[in-house]
Chains A and B, each alone.
Chain A
Amino acid sequence: MLSAWWNQVRMRIAVLLNRRQFERDLQEELDFHLAMREQSQRRSGMTPDDAYRSARFQFGNPEVIKDACRELWSWRFLETLWQDVWFGGRMLRKNLSFTALAVLTLALGIGANTAVFSLVDAVLLKPLPYARADQLVVLHERIRREGYEHDQEMVTPGDFTAWKKRNASFSGMAAIASRSFDLTGTGEPVQIEGEAVSANLFSVLQVEPVIGRVFDPEEEHSGAGRVALLGYGLWTSRFAADPQVVGHTILIDGMGYVVVGVMPKWFSFPDPDDQLWVPLALSEQDLATRAAHSLRVVARLKEGISSVHAQTQMDALSRVVAEEYPTTNSGLSASLISLREQIVGNVRPALLVLWLSAAFVLLIVCVNLASFVLTRASIRRREFAVRLALGAARSRVVRQLITESLLLSLLGGAAGLLFAFWGMHALRGINPPPSFPYISRIEEIGINGTLLVFVLALSLVTGILFSLIPALRTGGRDIQEALKEEDSRGNSGGTRRWIRSTLVLMQTALGVVVMIGAGLLLRSFVRLGTVPLGFHPQNVLTLRVLPRGVRYPDFYARLNFYQQVLAKVQNVAGVESAGAVSFLPLTRSRQFNTFSVEGRPLANTSWSPSADIRVVTPGYFEAMQIPLTAGRKFSWEDMPESAPVAIVSKKFMQNFFPDGGVTGSHIRIGSPPSSSAWRTIIGVVDDVPYFDITSPPQPTIYLPYAQSAALRTDLHDLAVRTLQTPASLTGAVRNVIRNVDGDLAISRVRTMQEVCSISMAPQRFNLLLLTLMAALVLFLAAIGLYGVTAYSVAQRTREIGVRLILGAAPADVLRLILFHSAALILFGVAAGIALSFSLASLMKNLLFNVSALDPVTYGVVAVLLSLVGLVACYGPARAATRIDPITALRYE
């Protein structure tokens, strides 16, 4: 059945493709028949003349037969369609400026939507690449303590151990500690981001390596042989994708690790830049500690257990653990979040707003096109009326209109795809680097099948949408009326005016909504720029270097390294001061510890207060220019054997020493049973936002590196204040470090201003995209208003002529046209503001220190759009005043 149908289609296509051949064959077939008939007549005794005539007489009109045959082979529907398309194409070619404007408008709308959709699809819609990804959850500690609240704190090894052993909800639970490694041996030492992970991480995620194996459970115990898994990217870039590397030993931080496997290309867990995994070798003692929140935890829900159920169980378990360890665990509970939410949750609000604006842009495009087509339809009204009068079916005329619109929208879609392609490239470009992931899966965007279907569907829907209004109007009217209308240009009909007003209203309202969104983001971005940083980012060079490997067996070797490097960097010409810090400000790092104050027993609260801990070297405060408000800074006199000291932030002072007397007081890191030394607070410095610019600074304790051996905190970043452009000293500073130790990888060489800029990347990303949408909206709305007004002026030419003859001044005419447009625009602005009010909750999460109902933004947008709208209307209105009354009265 199907094959027969297909056969028919194939035969018809063959005929369609070779029409001429078909005609020739048909002619020849009939000629042959005639010749045979003639011959037989002659044989029966007729004269050749008679035979000729008789044969033809019997045969009848060959054209009728041919027609009947042709009809059989034709594609009736398709051929009329082809006629429509051909005719439509000719109409579009004839009006090139109209076509160009329409295609450009469509391309902008479809392109913007496609680019945004590619982003939404890659980030929000496509499933995560793990088997049964819906079962994967991330566990955090939720902290509710006076002076310190956080929903997604990392997990202490002690809690991880308790959760893992005592939960009833998960089929597997794995811990991850972020690490970075220096890869040495062959070639330039490089720093690789990676993770120390529980051996069962890969079975929890259900991921297989492409070569080799994952970790064995025994490899998790400290003291077992050192093994490593390579990321695909690292394998290809550093090891030339050599499968033989598995089983070989590579040098990581100066120590030999046996490569046991290579992970798939797409795998990078949990951070987008991870390329190396080693077992998380924690001793029994490590596993019991509850002091440092250092682990990330991922788990797989048991079959049939919902995350809500698991959360309830974990709440109960958290309460039990808190009773067992009140000093460390009061106010702490486990909090579950799906892996998907963890990865894309932060960008969802922004993407939804972006998506909505893109949809609005497309609606405006449709409105614009509808008014274009309407204008043209009114110009072509006589053409349609004549066609109807000549007997064309009304459906045929409507179909002609829709065909033309679809042709336009498909052209627009194709051009839009080009825009989208460029847009996607730009999107990837403005996403912050993987070390600061904002949109985690953005690298997955691109042109794919889903996207092409989306563009096609979008083009078709758009085409049908914007052709519907004019088509319905032409189709829904009878011929006489259409012809009559032709004569009555004097006054525009009620329906027409109504449609026109609706178009203007919609355009303005949608434009207002998108522009208010962009305006609010702009306001927040400006506010972000005024957040006090507590340091001066100008002229600071930062880089990351970590002394590790065999040359640094203990803390003293590392201390020595810093002393040497900092002293030498300080001597580089153009360097003012230099220091090191555990993590730079604004790098989304958090190191949170409990502490206690001497002479303050844990009175009414059973738990210790907490603060952010930063380990620094002397020179750090100078390099960052963090002002000291009381006391003194650290110096190289504060050594391991000298009196333990600490510096605290203003916020710390305000929170914990509101009555003064902070300098000279003693604090101790860790909860009461802690054996760490009492430290004297020697100074107070300004608050610095260490996590990110939108999070208020936490109370912070600074410790000198020389006295931080027990904390085992690495100093990751160097900060160098320069007298000239920081980048110009990069080479010199690198050389100094290389002279001290040539085997250490130097990475993340950035100026502090770059670091600040990267930290605002999410806001910049949102702002940039929404501003682009707003600009698009403004442009489209201006074009649209211009078009609609011009249309209306054309419609009212005769009316205006009459007014002019009856003595109206040009200014009156101007006022007449502008007044009407202005009224419509104002209505539109009002509607847009109302709509924005109702959508305000969508924006709330994206804003910083700006209300989603910010009156300034609303006001400025209202004024701006009204002005642009009026300017757009002014041209056509002005043209109306120059109408020559005599010509106008003769007009049609």
Chain B
Amino acid sequence: MGKPRDKSGDLLQGTLDMLVLQALTRGPQHGYSVAEWIHQRSQDVLRVEEGALYPALHRLELRGFLSSEWGASENNRRAKYYSLTPAGRKHLLTETEQWQRMSWAIKRILQSA
């Protein structure tokens, strides 16, 4: 069984950051559920690779957008839970806004063609 991966599944770093932040608006999550949530919400289109997810989580934590805490998971294992910090929330807002402007513009260009 091959790795389910097509070109559209590759995410730009900034976009991935944004999605991770968005995933965490629902409350504290561990890495696995962040990946799963993105996968499900995109209706299986987007698949976050672990090799990109964890560095992204660490990077966001280092930049102060996330904070982390160890807690018990649903199956009672120790898991690292990430949650949004106020700075992260603010960052997500500006990023989202920018993304929406961009995608609107791109859509306009593609439609007009």
Query: Do A25 and B80 touch across chains, with their CB atoms under 8 A apart?
Result: yes
* Chain B nearest Cβ from A599, distance in angstroms: 102
Write out, one digit per residue, whether chain B residues 79-112 have a CB within 8 A of any chain A CB (1) or not (0): 1100000010000000000000000000000000
A25 to B31 alpha-carbon distance, docked (Å): 13
Query: Do A4 and B63 touch across chains, with their CB atoms under 8 A apart?
Result: yes
Show the binding face of B for A, using Cβ within 8 Å.
1, 3, 30-32, 35-36, 49-51, 54-55, 58-59, 61-64, 70, 73, 75, 77-80, 87
Q: Which residues of the partner chain A approach B78 to less than 8 Å between Cβ atoms?
A: 28, 32
Starting from the known contacts A4-B64, A40-B36, A65-B54, 10 additional A-B residue pairs (CB-CB under 8 Å) come to A8-B64, A12-B62, A29-B79, A33-B31, A35-B77, A37-B32, A57-B3, A68-B51, A68-B55, A69-B55
A678 within 8 A of B: no
A453 within 8 A of B: no
* Chain A nearest Cβ from B25, distance in angstroms: 21
A64 to B49 alpha-carbon distance, docked (Å): 12
* Chain B nearest Cβ from A442, distance in angstroms: 53
A11 within 8 A of B: yes
21 A-B residue pairings within 8 Å (CB atoms)? A4-B64, A4-B87, A11-B61, A11-B62, A29-B31, A29-B80, A32-B31, A32-B32, A32-B77, A32-B80, A33-B30, A33-B31, A33-B32, A60-B49, A60-B50, A68-B51, A69-B54, A69-B55, A69-B58, A72-B59, A72-B62
B61, closest chain A residue (CB): A11
A66, closest chain B residue (CB): B54
Write out, one digit per residue, whether chain A residues 11-39 have a CB within 8 A of any chain B CB (1) or not (0): 11000000000000100111011011101
A7 within 8 A of B: yes
* Chain A nearest Cβ from B26, distance in angstroms: 17
The 3 closest A-B pairs by CB, nearest first: A36-B32, A68-B55, A29-B80
Query: Do B50 and A65 touch across chains, with their CB atoms under 8 A apart?
Result: yes
A705 to B100 alpha-carbon distance, docked (Å): 108
A40 to B30 alpha-carbon distance, docked (Å): 15
A58 within 8 A of B: yes
A35, closest chain B residue (CB): B77
Query: Do B62 and A73 touch across chains, with their CB atoms under 8 A apart?
Result: yes
A65 to B58 alpha-carbon distance, docked (Å): 11
Query: Do A7 and B64 touch across chains, with their CB atoms under 8 A apart?
Result: yes
* Chain B nearest Cβ from A15, distance in angstroms: 9
A54 within 8 A of B: yes
Q: Which residues of the partner chain A approach B54 to less than 8 Å between Cβ atoms?
A: 29-30, 33, 65, 68-69
* A65 with B77, Cβ < 8 A, contacts A32-B30, A59-B50, A73-B62 known: no
A270 to B75 alpha-carbon distance, docked (Å): 85
A69, closest chain B residue (CB): B58
Q: Which residues of the partner chain B approach A69 to less than 8 Å between Cβ atoms?
A: 54-55, 58
A58, closest chain B residue (CB): B3
* A54 with B55, Cβ < 8 A, contacts A25-B80, A36-B32 known: no
Write out, one digit per residue, whether chain A residues 795-819 have a CB within 8 A of any chain B CB (1) or not (0): 0000000000000000000000000
* A32 with B73, Cβ < 8 A, contacts A8-B63, A8-B64, A11-B62 known: yes
* Chain A nearest Cβ from B62, distance in angstroms: 6
A58 to B35 alpha-carbon distance, docked (Å): 13
Q: How many contacts between A and B, using CB within 8 angstroms?
A: 67
Q: Which residues of the partner chain A approach B61 to less than 8 Å between Cβ atoms?
A: 11
B5, closest chain A residue (CB): A58
Q: Which residues of the partner chain B approach A7 to less than 8 Å between Cβ atoms?
A: 64
Query: Do A60 and B80 touch across chains, with their CB atoms under 8 A apart?
Result: no
Chain A contacts with B in 162-216, Cβ cutoff 8 A:
none
Q: Which residues of the partner chain A approach B50 to less than 8 Å between Cβ atoms?
A: 30, 33, 58-60, 65
Q: Which residues of the partner chain B approach A40 to less than 8 Å between Cβ atoms?
A: 36
Query: Do A60 and B51 touch across chains, with their CB atoms under 8 A apart?
Result: yes
Q: Which residues of the partner chain B approach A58 to less than 8 Å between Cβ atoms?
A: 3, 50
Q: Which residues of the partner chain A approach B36 to less than 8 Å between Cβ atoms?
A: 40
A429 to B36 alpha-carbon distance, docked (Å): 79
Chain A contacts with B in 365-401, Cβ cutoff 8 A:
none
* Chain B nearest Cβ from A62, distance in angstroms: 8
A54, closest chain B residue (CB): B1
Q: Which residues of the partner chain B approach A35 to less than 8 Å between Cβ atoms?
A: 77
A39, closest chain B residue (CB): B75
B74, closest chain A residue (CB): A36
Q: Which residues of the partner chain B approach A68 to less than 8 Å between Cβ atoms?
A: 51, 54-55
A60 to B50 alpha-carbon distance, docked (Å): 8
A59, closest chain B residue (CB): B50
* Chain B nearest Cβ from A557, distance in angstroms: 88
Q: Which residues of the partner chain A approach B51 to less than 8 Å between Cβ atoms?
A: 60, 64-65, 68
A28, closest chain B residue (CB): B78
A25 to B54 alpha-carbon distance, docked (Å): 12
Q: Which residues of the partner chain B approach A30 to less than 8 Å between Cβ atoms?
A: 50, 54
A59 to B35 alpha-carbon distance, docked (Å): 12
* Chain B nearest Cβ from A227, distance in angstroms: 67
* Chain B nearest Cβ from A13, distance in angstroms: 12
A12 to B64 alpha-carbon distance, docked (Å): 12
* Chain B nearest Cβ from A79, distance in angstroms: 16
A8 to B32 alpha-carbon distance, docked (Å): 25
A808 to B54 alpha-carbon distance, docked (Å): 74
Chain A contacts with B in 409-454, Cβ cutoff 8 A:
none
* Chain A nearest Cβ from B48, distance in angstroms: 11
* A8 with B62, Cβ < 8 A, contacts A33-B32, A60-B51, A65-B55 known: yes
Q: Which residues of the partner chain A approach B31 to less than 8 Å between Cβ atoms?
A: 29, 32-33
Query: Do A72 and B73 touch across chains, with their CB atoms under 8 A apart?
Result: no
B32, closest chain A residue (CB): A36
A409 to B15 alpha-carbon distance, docked (Å): 50
Q: Which residues of the partner chain A approach B32 to less than 8 Å between Cβ atoms?
A: 32-33, 36-37
A61, closest chain B residue (CB): B51
Query: Do B3 and A72 touch across chains, with their CB atoms under 8 A apart?
Result: no
Q: Which residues of the partner chain A approach B35 to less than 8 Å between Cβ atoms?
A: 33
Q: Which residues of the partner chain A approach B64 to less than 8 Å between Cβ atoms?
A: 4, 7-8
* Chain B nearest Cβ from A879, distance in angstroms: 59
A12 to B32 alpha-carbon distance, docked (Å): 24
A186 to B65 alpha-carbon distance, docked (Å): 75
Give the one of A4, A39, A40, A69 with max B CB within 10 A: A69
B59, closest chain A residue (CB): A72
Q: Which residues of the partner chain A approach B75 to less than 8 Å between Cβ atoms?
A: 39
* Chain A nearest Cβ from B78, distance in angstroms: 7
A60 to B75 alpha-carbon distance, docked (Å): 24
Query: Do B80 and A72 touch across chains, with their CB atoms under 8 A apart?
Result: no
A30 to B54 alpha-carbon distance, docked (Å): 8
Query: Do B79 and A32 touch across chains, with their CB atoms under 8 A apart?
Result: yes
A60 to B51 alpha-carbon distance, docked (Å): 7
Q: Which residues of the partner chain B approach A59 to less than 8 Å between Cβ atoms?
A: 50
Q: Which residues of the partner chain B approach A36 to less than 8 Å between Cβ atoms?
A: 32, 73
A67, closest chain B residue (CB): B55
Q: Which residues of the partner chain A approach B79 to less than 8 Å between Cβ atoms?
A: 29, 32
* Chain B nearest Cβ from A579, distance in angstroms: 87
Q: Which residues of the partner chain A approach B70 to less than 8 Å between Cβ atoms?
A: 25
A35 to B32 alpha-carbon distance, docked (Å): 10
A60 to B73 alpha-carbon distance, docked (Å): 23
Q: Which residues of the partner chain A approach B1 to less than 8 Å between Cβ atoms?
A: 54, 57
A536 to B40 alpha-carbon distance, docked (Å): 111
A4 to B80 alpha-carbon distance, docked (Å): 22
Q: Which residues of the partner chain B approach A64 to less than 8 Å between Cβ atoms?
A: 51
A212 to B92 alpha-carbon distance, docked (Å): 67
* Chain A nearest Cβ from B83, distance in angstroms: 15
Give the one of A40, A65, A73 with max B CB within 10 A: A65
A125 to B70 alpha-carbon distance, docked (Å): 58
* Chain B nearest Cβ from A30, distance in angstroms: 7
Q: Which residues of the partner chain A approach B59 to less than 8 Å between Cβ atoms?
A: 72
Write out, one digit per residue, whether chain A residues 45-76 have a CB within 8 A of any chain B CB (1) or not (0): 00000000010011110001100110011000
Q: Which residues of the partner chain A approach B3 to less than 8 Å between Cβ atoms?
A: 57-58
A32, closest chain B residue (CB): B79
A29 to B79 alpha-carbon distance, docked (Å): 6
A73 to B78 alpha-carbon distance, docked (Å): 22
A70, closest chain B residue (CB): B58
* Chain A nearest Cβ from B18, distance in angstroms: 18
Q: Which residues of the partner chain B approach A4 to less than 8 Å between Cβ atoms?
A: 63-64, 87
